[in-house]
Every structure is written in structure tokens, then in C-alpha cells.
Amino acid sequence: MGWFSKDITNMDDLFVHTLRDIYYAEHQIRRALPDMIDKATSPELKQSFQTHMRETEQQIVRLQEVFRLHGVEEKGVNCPAIDGILEEANEVAGEVDDKQVLDAALIAAAQSVEHYEITRYGTLKRWAEVLGTAKVAELIKASLQEESQTDEILTRIAARANETERESVAT
């Protein structure tokens, strides 16, 4: 179901639809992470994916709590955007042999996932402040903060990898 479906007639419908969109996305990300952990070469990157997998599980639980508090059925709706991002990540990672380049591709893919989630949670947080309870807004905010933090960690790992690469080129 797309955003311009006839089933969405008011802001609350849109809020619930977007909750279901990110709920689906979180499940897809949870399914994709073990493979990313497997492929990552840098121990630091592996570790950050492992941490984020645990956070993703927690984010799924938070969304279940949001559905409960908002009084709507807990379910996902297809989200072609996250499917596309993950599919592209898979294709790119599958084609790279060089370990350092593979890590760079994985970081880039993970950051596009994070940015998708940041936009969804950012929107949901603003809508929740109007349509939901304070507790709902608080739960969404907690996940938004985790996603932003993960994005920053990935930026730092990428910067360090670039440094190492520059040093190895210079010597």
C-alpha cells in the first residue's frame, strides 16, 4: 500500500501507516545484519554492526509498545524503499573482492539505511508529539537517537579507514 492509498484519509492513518512502514523496515534490517556482520573485515565495523543488531531488536520491541499504546494492530506494510536500499547493498557488496573496499561499501550501505530510518523516525517523532501520547513520542525519540548515533559511529569508522588507506599509499 502506497502513501497515496485511499485507506489513508487523515493524519492518524498516515501516522499509523508510517509506523508500519518502519516496523517492516526494522525487520528487514534485522534480517540483513547477520550477513553484513559476516562480510565486514574490520573488527571495529563488525562490532558496530553487532551492536546495531541488538539495538534493532530493541527498536522492534519499542515499536510494538508504540502500537500497543496507540491502540492499533501491530503489523508491517511493504516498504519498497528499504527493500531497494538493501537489495542494492547486497549487489554492491557481492561484487567487491578487496577487503578494504568491501568495508567501505558496507559502511556506505549501512549509512543509507540509517539515513532512511532517521527520516522516518524524525517524521514520526514530530507527528507523535501532536497525535500520540508523550510516552509514544519518547519511544520514537529513543530510536531516532540510536539511529543518529549509529550514523555518527559509521562516519568515524569510515574516516579512520580513509586515514589508514592514505598512510599505506604514502609509504
Contacting positions for Fe ion (CB under 5 A): 56, 59, 117
Select 100 or 148, whichever has its Cβ closest to Fe ion: 148
> In the complex with Fe ion, which residue's Cβ is closer, 103 or 117?
117
CB 109 within 8 A of CB 100: no
Cell 586515514, residue?
A: 163
Nearest CB to Fe ion, comparing residues 100 and 111: 111
Residue whose CB is less far from Fe ion, 10 or 84: 84
d(CA 139, CA 125): 9
Set of cell numbers at residue 138: 519518547
| 33: number of Cβ within 10 Å | 19
The least distance separating Fe ion from the CB of residue 37, rounded to whole angstroms, comes to 15
Burial class (CB in 10 A: 0-12, 13-18, 19+), 63: buried
Cβ closest to Fe ion, residue 27 vs residue 100: 27
Minimum distance of Fe ion from residue 117's CB (angstroms): 5
127: which 3 cell numbers? 507527528
Nearest residue to 158 via CA among 100, 113, 117 = 100
Task: Check if the beta carbon of residue 56 is closer than 8 Å to that of residue 33.
Answer: yes
CA distance 108 to 96: 13
Provide the minimum distance between the beta carbon of 114 and Fe ion in the complex, in angstroms, as a whole number.
Answer: 8
**Nearest distance in Å: CB 29, Fe ion:** 6
Q: How far is the CB of 165 from Fe ion (least distance, A)?
A: 29
